[in-house]
Amino acid sequence: TIFAQNAGCDGSRYIDDIFSNVTKTTVNYAPTVGHINNAFTLQMDVYQPEGDNLAARPAVVLAHGGSFVFGDKSMMQPYCELLARKGYVAVSIQYRLYPFLLLGFPDSLNIFDTAVKAVGDMRAAVRYLREDAATTNQFHVDAEHVFIGGYSAGAVTALHSGFLDSTDVVPEFLQTLIDNNGGLEGISGTSSNHTYSSSAKAVVNMSGGLYRKEWVGLNNLPLVSIHGTQDETVNYVYGLAAGIAFLEGSSLLHQQAEAVGLWNFLETVPGGGHTNTYSDPQYEPFVDTFWVHATTLLESL
């Protein structure tokens, strides 16, 4: 049935490397307003398999790490290229970061506010791809199959974008931040952008966390994760992420996913830290296994 409904799903595409070369296009995707009321436009890098003739391809929207203070969309290039070689349209987004050079070092409230802004930006990026598919169709994205994910702060963004909704119990301070930032959909994007859905079909989590594991429910998105047990930035279990804001880590999120019967997979990296999990050769087999499971799950969906 999957093969009949989705062109390109042949058991190899979306799992194996079937393209040698990848192209990158940078586009503006959402006008927005920053922390100091400065207006600017967010950009995304769109990676596509070169020579691909398929009319509609699933897309994966990724966000980089950097504790919501540092980082750049170029940091996700290796993962976008990995996915594009398998046939996906892979996107790395720019999102609003806390301007510490202007405002000083952030406290926990500043970071939560910035995370809420980032969630709005990611949702605007998903809406942008759907609007593009319905209009100019520059990227030939299958609007029914858009996935989200990221690393570190980018994974935190994707997890909250995917799991936090209006049915969840939210503490007053966080609800205030959400309300002040235009609600769960945020303020980023054009008026036409906001007419499209920001929903995703799965979350790809690389060393991220969620404020409350209880936000993971049976009717939520499938979740695939990788996390090192010695992560001192975003704790594998729970703790203050980057020493600033409390998060519950991947181990608790997947325990919750199992408890509610949600489709999920966690690649635990014994001894892995926040960054060396992805750079140290001793952990390469764990990362490879994670991507096998991640792309297999996405292809199945």
The answer on pLDDT for 2 being more than 80 is no
Q: What is the pLDDT of residue 1?
A: 34
Q: Please write the tens of the pLDDT for every residue from 4-57.
A: 345 678 789 999 999 999 999 999 999 999 999 999 999 999 999 999 999 999
Percentage of the chain surpassing pLDDT 70? 98
Q: What sections of 135-265 are H helices per DSSP? A: 153-163, 172-180, 250-260
Q: What is the pLDDT of residue 10?
A: 79
Mean pLDDT score across all residues of the chain = 95
d(CA 21, CA 29): 24
Q: Please write the tens of the pLDDT for every residue from 144-161.
A: 999 999 999 999 999 999
Q: What is the pLDDT of residue 153?
A: 97
What b-and-e string marks burial along 99-134, b requiring 16 or more CB atoms within 10 Å of the CB?
A: eeeeeeebeeebbbbbbbbbbbbbbbbbbbbbbbbe
Distance of CA 28 to the CA centre of its chain: 18
Q: 172-180 and 108-134 helices cross at what angle (nearest 10)?
A: 50
* Average pLDDT of the residues in 134-152: 97
The answer on pLDDT for 236 being more than 70 is yes
pLDDT band at 243 (very low <50, low <70, confident <90, very high): confident
* Average pLDDT of the residues in 229-246: 93
Q: How far apart are the first and last CA of the chain?
A: 12
Region of 217 on the Ramachandran plot (φ > 0 left; ψ -120 to 50 alpha; else beta): beta
Q: What sections of the chain are H helices per DSSP? A: 2-5, 77-85, 100-103, 108-134, 153-163, 172-180, 250-260, 284-300
Q: What is the pLDDT of residue 244?
A: 87
* Average pLDDT of the residues in 102-110: 92
Q: Please write the tens of the pLDDT for every residue from 259-293.
A: 999 999 999 999 999 999 999 999 999 999 999 99
Instruction: Indicate yes or no: pTM above 0.85.
Output: yes
The answer on pLDDT for 84 being more than 90 is yes
The answer on pLDDT for 3 being more than 60 is no
